[in-house]
Amino acid sequence: MEQQDKRKIYERLSTSQIDVLHQKFMDGIAARTEKVLPECSDNFSAQARAALGEKVNEMLLLAKRCREDIAPKKLEEFVETGIKGIEKQNRSYKKQIKKDPWRWDVRRALNKKFNKRAEAPLAAATFGDDERIYLKLATVSVEESATYCRVADYIECRGYKICDYIKGYATDTSGKQNFKIGKLIKDNPILLRLFNVDETRASVGKYVVISRNKQDLERMSTGRGWSSCMAADGMFKARVPNIVGSMTLVAYLINANDPEVNDPLARLLLKPCDNREVRNKKSAYRSAFFHSMRQHFNHFALCLTAKEEPLHSSSIAFAAGATYGLGSQNFRLAVNQFCDDHLHELEEGHYMLHGEIYADGLPSRYDVGEDKMFPQRGF
């Protein structure tokens, strides 16, 4: 794919465009509130209606932050209870949001590590004063979708033809009977997943949020639509503080109506890899098991005597980790391309994943050749 084509994968949103995205989100909440508020009358003044509307808006916003979607009938029931009933529900939501999912010792480590966090030079320059960067995924027609082509080839070999890709239907050779594409490709789990998350079938725009926000990093697998060993109750929860305290970034895939990243569709971590010689030696020692006192002595001698090189723009590269949730191919492509465009200024040589960061299947070493391209793994 040529460089010009790659840059069409995403569009970085300006501050004003991000504000518009958030305003549309709030306008959607206000529209829902307006539908359920009773009309003004002798017993229900405009001032009382505005006060009730404010409380309903707050309740809908808090519900979104708790990953809940209040059904229309349930919302009408809340409105009938009046301000007191809605305030009671709002207190329940606030209590739920305030509750810390992390065990006290992990919480202490999370705060301690994040307070010492440093940013990669290019990441610091790219983010500026912001904690999040928003990317709008480019609109891709059905015919341009790589998944569409794979699905079409797969079912055509079995005597079927796509008749409505967006709705998910195919027809037999006679064209008289329709079949669900999902059922026709269910024996190919990878292709079925790609089909289910293909953006060309979605009616709502998709965005990527790349974040260094503390809460976004902590909640990489906690209170999300997926779970992993990095959740607050996961097997490797004790490793999360090292990730939060490192230069790691998190990328989320979201719908256009979720700019606060309350209920993202997917996520992946961008894990820093270092090409500095001394750092690589230390990382190698950290990631290995020590089998003798000699190895212990060598490790501590290196840490005490070797002066670490300062960070440069070319010192850090970001390796994209595994995708969790309903991640799509375009999501990963956009994140990888953003790294190449803004976060990578590579030098020929090798970059090592820091030994204290959980690899989660990533290799510990990446070799960068004369093309100065970082070798990211596929979808």
How many residues are present in the chain?
379
**pTM, full prediction:** 0.82
Q: Which distant-in-sequence residues (6+ apart) come within 8 Å of 199 by Cβ?
A: 137, 140, 206, 328, 330
Mean pLDDT in order along the chain per 10 residues (379 residues): 55 96 96 94 90 96 95 94 95 96 96 96 96 89 77 89 87 84 89 78 82 97 92 94 96 94 95 78 49 48 55 93 85 93 94 87 91 82
Q: What local confidence, expressed as pLDDT, does residue 302 receive?
A: 46
- Would you list the domain boundaries of the chain? 37-98, 104-138+219-368, 146-197
Cα separations (Å) of 294 from 149, 281, 285, 291, 300?
Answer: 58, 16, 12, 8, 10
Half-sphere exposure of 335 (CA within 13 A, CB side): 31
Residue in the structure block whose two tokens are 């840059």:
7
Torsion angle in degrees (nearest 10) through CA of 65, 71, 77, 82: 30
What is the distance between the alpha carbons of residues 219 and 62, in angstroms, rounded to a whole number? 17
Per-residue pLDDT tens digits for 88-142: 999 999 999 999 999 999 999 999 999 999 999 999 999 999 999 999 988 766 7
> Which structure tokens are listed for 300?
């501590």
Q: What local confidence, expressed as pLDDT, does residue 43 receive?
A: 85
How many beta carbons lie within 10 A of that of residue 240, not counting itself?
26
What is the average pLDDT value for the chain, to the nearest integer? 87
Per-residue pLDDT tens digits for 38-91: 998 888 899 999 999 999 999 999 999 999 999 999 999 999 999 999 999 999
Q: What local confidence, expressed as pLDDT, does residue 279 receive?
A: 52
